[in-house]
Structure 1
């Protein structure tokens, strides 16, 4: 009888020992160090998903999540999965604004699974803006994941979407900003058949759009001109947030009382008894002599007004108003929250993220960064690889630094105006520290995007003026190139998290002093988050902290398996969303 050689026996024993050691190590890690956590609701979206449906926009192909489970902060929801029915089954793309996307036939997808480092807060205290998992103080058997915004002993207040600590705005580092930022729009373009879409950027004449790339070529230099030796004027790309449909923002255009009659009276008479929302969307302010539209003017309404107009003044006013109605403020609306009705607030804290490539390097790259009532200019010299930050209002240099050349044929640039400060990153490095902006004069109260009070179709003049001012400020964002040639292959705008008033229970109407060994926490998806703003017991004691989530380790997406003429819906890993958590 043949017996296995000693080497084979030793190899087998080694394999068994390794397998046992691995199992023991996993058990020890899961018991004492690591723990898995499944997110069910959307209070931390869009960074962390709860139960949702994965939506592909049919126009721009942007992929986003449609939440189907929310916590008790949302009426009628206690964390259970809701079935989208009726108008609630229709999603709106957060990138291009395409509305009416039917999600009723899409499968539900599980929430993100987190890997949590247990007991780390037995060694140290959590930091501001850090994500934590903790036991719900009202129901200790339930685990929550939120972000720490207030620390023990601090006085906290939520004002106009920002966190204020001890009377001063709490500013985030650029790393924290990148973790929290929420997409607004990008260069992913809708199909040519999209009837109402326009690029959310206004291009100077030396720019042209080619598929998903903006191309720039400097005009030929006139060597005989006295100005030939001067630096070339930048060719600008200016941000203007174009909304294809919907919204509750206000647009208005001048129209004298004499020019408004009789067409305005005729419009009211024709639609007074007709069950259509047009008469509620349009308003003429006779005292100020302006024609106003709430939300984007529907194409059918514009055609009706133009077809029945008897004066060219009224007809031209309608054309102007229809175009202006597409220019909307950036708001805190989430594509994730399409199932939920909630007020929208204007968001002023924006971030530009762009990649610029070239063969013949441009002389300079410019960015205009508005913060409150002030505007700043960033200039990159591609030859010396230097960056300069200026106050355009005072014409003074504020910061200077250098950046790594990278591959020498491109630059990845991030410019942020979050939290009343300027933060810049070039090729992954900051050329100078974040610069706080004093006297930015932000709004004292959150500004609702709707110009009309709830239950009233007449726009409020003061609110409308405030919205118009914020729209004008956001239009100051611009990217410019001077000299050479360049291709902008990536151009994205992001916004900051806007902390809504919620139920106004804690730290909203007045200051709140955080007790010792306790933390004030909030969700990134503020409109639907149940957190310290709303809880009867507003803080999380240190003893209730479970640990720090550090990895989204098993996100998934739906797929269809086809075999033998049959189809099965399955879940597969979403490798692109596996990431570390700040």
Structure 2
């Protein structure tokens, strides 16, 4: 008993998370929601830090409507769902008496403004460093701070899961297939043995449409591709354009827009006409009622076609920093380009090659995995010389051959090209230049100052002659040869650090105080942290320890006793896990 007390008091201690500043990795009080259209399970936050904008952080109301982060289904009613406790952390106290925290490491510390209150955040700035947040990324001494493979996996936020396809007729999968793909249940199958055959007429095969990345047939070896095109159901701040080629169509649209504005229809604020370029401009996804009104009052076929095109293209949106956890919070969205793809492949006939195109800034790199020979190469697109070349370890090759199973991960987080096979990084990361000066010079000012996203590149190409140079900047998965089943396909994004109240490290570099740390939450839009506090830094003396496991999680339940329903807590072992 004494040993347990000593262990608990001096070495280990439990802490309950109440708010969602570290969600979705670590959650506070929340409701566990299952999307009715895709079955994806996610946490819906009910308590937030006091600095969360757009919500009353102290509100006792836990009702509202959730939006699924996987398929975009909105207005999911959460009122009947019981509230779950937050994650309970087991903290190794005193570990930082023997070493200093590392960047990206979780720490539990006493709130500098209220030492009786414990916080958990992630260390982003170390003593004496000059730090700045720019375009969602962290810069140290003017250079981007990069994450290794383990940290990327720890921080990544899920965007799409093939195992949770929406049942809605209005939804489209964000991976655009071409070649020989078929959807069978929640899996994708491609048979490249007969390159002359086409699956485009198969009712189970989703339409690919035109693509700059359409596969080629190489001799007797077929090729199939999946192109990432993020498809949004509704909302958004992105801008889509559709051109009007004739004066008649332009006059038609002007008169309709003038009439609808006279009637003060609410959706007219999303729509405008660029007279100089003669294009319709739409902000966000076109609402169904807007499309119906425009089609009904159009006098020319050209305008009707342009409206239809604009409505379809408006769903192709940039990935943003939305959180399913934050459905109660009204906050601006910022475009996110740091993505990671994870694909698990099984084959009946070994593919000749598996490729992943990885866009980074204005470049594209191509990862090539040869399952038969175990060779992995990374090339700049269009170049013959590999910038990285490796052979898988013999035991890994043997496992792949025997199981006919391979998992490949590829990411572009922090201007770094990273690849892993079966949970093993294969070669050294490829780091591309990204200093503060580079980002300021090459990034449009509308994103540099945290304003709304740029015009959707895919949509801009419909309003101008020829495709935009950015229209090729997409993740692409290619299968060359073989009979391959996509057992699992997930897409993730990186954490995007928002400007918050802009007190520290946003408008200008901030120097971290000696023997202190700059800390931030993974759920940046609602996190109370060093960006927003009057006193930015956490002194080393206030560090409590390192959380290393989520333990004793539970979920609400009810039990019948003598005809009465009584609330109980049921162990939730799925939430038990180690913390990086």
State the TM-score bracket (shorter-chain normalisation).
Answer: 0.7 to 0.9
Matches within 5 A, 1:126-525: 126-192=101-167, 194-220=168-194, 232=221, 234-256=223-245, 258-274=247-263, 276-403=265-392, 404-405=396-397, 406-408=399-401, 409-438=404-433, 442=439, 463-464=454-455, 472=470, 476-525=474-523
Is the 8 Å Cα contact of residues 92 and 98 (structure 1) preserved in structure 2?
Answer: yes
Deviations along 1:198-254, one digit per CA (max 9) or x if unpaired, are 0111101311111110100014268xxxx9985846311000001112222111111
> Is 1:52 matched with 2:30?
yes
Distance 2:386 2:251 in 1: 56
Counterparts in 2 of 1:399 and 1:341: CA distance versus 1, 3 Å = same
The Cα shift of 1:556 comes to 2.4
Counterparts in 2 of 1:451 and 1:163: CA distance versus 1, 3 Å = closer
TM-score by length of 2: 0.88
The Cα shift of 1:473 comes to 5.9
Distance 2:260 2:448 in 1: 23
> Is 1:35 matched with 2:13?
yes
Distance 1:413 1:447 in 2: 35
The Cα shift of 1:435 comes to 1.5
TM-score by length of 1: 0.88
Runs in 1 of length 4+ with deviation above 4 angstroms?
75-79, 227-231, 439-453, 465-475, 562-569
Counterparts in 2 of 1:169 and 1:452: CA distance versus 1, 3 Å = closer
The Cα shift of 1:390 comes to 0.6
Is the 8 Å Cα contact of residues 61 and 188 (structure 1) preserved in structure 2?
Answer: no
Quick check: 432-441 or 148-157, which moved more?
A: 432-441
Distance 2:469 2:230 in 1: 9
Quick check: 506-515 or 275-284, which moved more?
A: 275-284
Counterparts in 2 of 1:352 and 1:452: CA distance versus 1, 3 Å = closer
Distance 1:178 1:399 in 2: 22
Query: Which residue of 2 is the match for residue 580 of structure 1?
Result: 578
Rg larger for = 1
In structure 1, runs of 5+ residues without a counterpart are 1-22, 454-459
Query: Which residue of 2 is the match for residue 540 of structure 1?
Result: 538
SS at match of 2:348: coil
Is the 8 Å Cα contact of residues 50 and 67 (structure 1) preserved in structure 2?
Answer: yes
Counterparts in 2 of 1:229 and 1:185: CA distance versus 1, 3 Å = closer
Distance 1:168 1:28 in 2: 44
Q: Provide the alpha-carbon RMSD of the alignment.
A: 2.7
Counterparts in 2 of 1:442 and 1:34: CA distance versus 1, 3 Å = same
Deviations along 1:23-46, one digit per CA (max 9) or x if unpaired, are 333211111100000001110000
SS at match of 2:455: helix
The Cα shift of 1:514 comes to 1.3
Distance 1:422 1:545 in 2: 34
Is the 8 Å Cα contact of residues 54 and 331 (structure 2) preserved in structure 1?
Answer: no
Matched residue count: 545
SS at match of 1:280: helix
> Is 1:72 matched with 2:22?
no
Is the 8 Å Cα contact of residues 364 and 380 (structure 1) preserved in structure 2?
Answer: yes
Is the 8 Å Cα contact of residues 60 and 190 (structure 1) preserved in structure 2?
Answer: yes
